[in-house]
Amino acid sequence: MKSSLSTFATLVFPLIAIAQSDHSRPKSSLTLSQLQEQAAKFNTVLSPLNWDTTPEQITSETDAAIASANRELDAIGKLTASQLKFENTIRALDDVDFELETVHHRFDIIEQAHPDPKMRSAAVEAIQKLNDFDVGIDYREDVYHSLRAYAETKPQLGAVEQRLLDFTLRDYKRAGLTLDDTKRREVESIRKQIAFWDTHFAVNNNNASAKLTFSKDDLEGVPADFLVGVKTGEDQYTVDANVAPQFLTVASNCVKEETRKKLQLARDTRAKDKNLPIAAKVISLRAQLASLLGYRSWADYQIETRMAKSGGDALDFLEKLKSGLQPKYDEEMAEFKKIKAGFSGSTTPDVKLWDYYFVSNQLEKQKYSVDEEALRVYFPMDRVLHGMFAVYERIFGIKIEALEPPTKYVDDLKLYAIIDSATSQPLGLLYMDLFPRPGKYNHFATFSGIDGKLLANGKYQRPTAELICNFPAPSANAPSLLDHQEVTTIFHEFGHAMHAILTTVDYASFSGLNVPQDFVEAPSQMLEYFTWDKKVLDSFAADYRDPSKKIPGEILEKLKEADLATKASWYRRQLSFAIMDLKVHMPMTADQKANLNGYANSILNEVFLPSDSSSAMLASFGHLFDGYDAGYYGYAWADAIAADMASVFQKAPDGFLDPTVGRRLRDEVYAVGNSRDVADSVERFLGRKQSIQPFLKKVGIDSGTM
């Protein structure tokens, strides 16, 4: 019954001899076996992921998991009235979901990160088979009959158990179990088709090539260190627009508009031919499915179980935010036009989509004297990771220990144990895959591996997760150097990992990251604030050539001013994605359906900046096909919550390093997951009702405008 939403993604260099770094803390004196023994003392289980597998084993493991699940489901379906109890109905179904998801999660990682294309292909096939089976679970009438019969006994349950019972029956209703046989079979068929095409959309996205070769003159303004890394011949530099760090470096620094345009269009059309037909098909199927289930739109269906409750409410939130941003957005566009005029020679230039990163970067440099590329020297990757670990150790009361992975799918895969500092209880395991390579997921994301769960034998399964990154690779003369945005991104994604690992919930359906989708980003977005705090940055950020040199306070203040200076345009870009996502999942006219890409482009162009008519951002917008469909609004929704949560740290005695507030975050939000209403969890952390004021302050909006 539980949908597989396992990834949480974020959109995102003197000649000194540098020793090759191992990109990790020194290995712990503890071994994994010793940590597992330690976990056993707490009646818990600590489990690494098995990467020592073959395509054939993936197939056989999938078949075995499905066979086992069928046996468990058969047992639930055969229960007589006198046998019904919570343990063999509701808890038993949570057990089935957990076992299937554990297999599914690992295959998700293999599909997104394994270097062997045969392994990735096998994982795709396995995921498709598991998705089809997962849909089929929803249509096991015998299982539903037993669950409903148990509910009709009106059992006296604890609050969490009652919540799990209610949510389970609600999900069966949303799957169509209350429909007649003909409609139910149609719903099941459509869901399987959607799952099939969603998987193929992601595969096409990852496999798409968006490499362009430029001359040095074409790349005027791009940092020399970057050019060294992408040089492929005499005056030839190959940039992959499908790799976010490469795209952003060129888009932010290249003076030549034609180069920026070519790169932007390569990125936005990289899977156009294959994925536009898939996008149209899936969006149409979703509309059909929503109608069969009695909903006005797919947006209404999706958002019913989230904090926003309906597509209309979510769109209203976005439109109000869009209007509130308009005065500041107009001011920023005027600044952007001045900057473009200075480079183009035109007195009345139009700012296009491919200008955005460049003019934003130039505004920071010219008006605020901020050169983000120059700031990279303060953020060598190893130092950032170690410093981030120390920050999270302090605020959450944990220790992070580097281990040797028992198996690997790539040589530099890292493994860390998360341990409670007060009790020495192992809390979970975290893998990190740091650098880009062909066929690998090309952004930053946290993937669930094993969810937290109280097992049938009474032991608690501690979580395992993986953080997939795409940091710049080290060069011969310098370590991997991050820009500030990449530092912010890793803090964000590591927050997702902590959310997954610090759970204490008994049921996998509610543990860790299994929270409403318009809330799941809030805790991690709140942790982004840490990377703007001088005290936090001074704890780890230092010039790798002379570690005694910290980021000057005045530069950080200018960076903050520069960030605020372009905040309205940044949010308008995000809103363009979110509004487009909602509108293509709400009722459309016949013309809009017939020219879906044109309709999507018109929304993007109206809310943000115009692009070329050949653009097809919809064809590579992975969020719409990996579980965030009718859900992208959740980033802005969650950001409003995040700003409020961050204000608690800002007012604490030790600021963002305050362990008392950090522990409250761990206990009131991370530990409880979705075992209670997340709005209640947020208010318990805040110690008051939620407020929009911190968010308005963050984005530079006068509270009177909204």
Residue 474 identity:
P
The question of whether 493 is a catalytic residue gets the answer: yes
Q: Is the dihedral of CA 474, 475, 476, 480 positive or negative?
A: negative
Query: DSSP class of residue 16?
Result: -
Give the C-alpha separation, 336 to 74, whole Å.
63
CA distance 697 to 692: 9
DSSP 137-196: HTT-HHHHHHHHHHHTT-----HHHHHHHHHHHHHHHHHTTTS-HHHHHHHHHHHHHHHH
* Contact predicate 407/596, CB 8 Å: no
Tokens of 165: 């019972």
Question: Could you please report the per-residue DSSP string of 235-271?
Answer: TEEEEETTSHHHHHHHHHH---HHHHHHHHHHHHTTT
Dihedrals phi, psi of 344, to nearest 5 degrees: -90, -25
Q: How many residues does the chain have?
A: 706
Reduced 3-state DSSP string for 568-599: HHHHHHHHHHHHHHHHHCCCCCHHHHHCHHHH
As a whole number of angstroms, the distance between CA 249 and CA 483 comes to 10
The token pair at 189 is 């068929």
Residues 6 or more apart whose CB falls under 8 angstroms from that of 375 comprise: 483, 484, 551, 555, 559
Give strand pairing partners of 419.
399, 426
Q: Looking at 111, 332, 335, 493, which residue is catalytic?
A: 493
**Residue 317 carries which DSSP code?**
H
Q: Which two tokens stand for residue 86?
A: 């919570």
CB 299 within 8 A of CB 586: yes
What is the distance between the alpha carbons of residues 253 and 248, in angstroms, rounded to a whole number?
8
Task: List active site positions.
Answer: 493
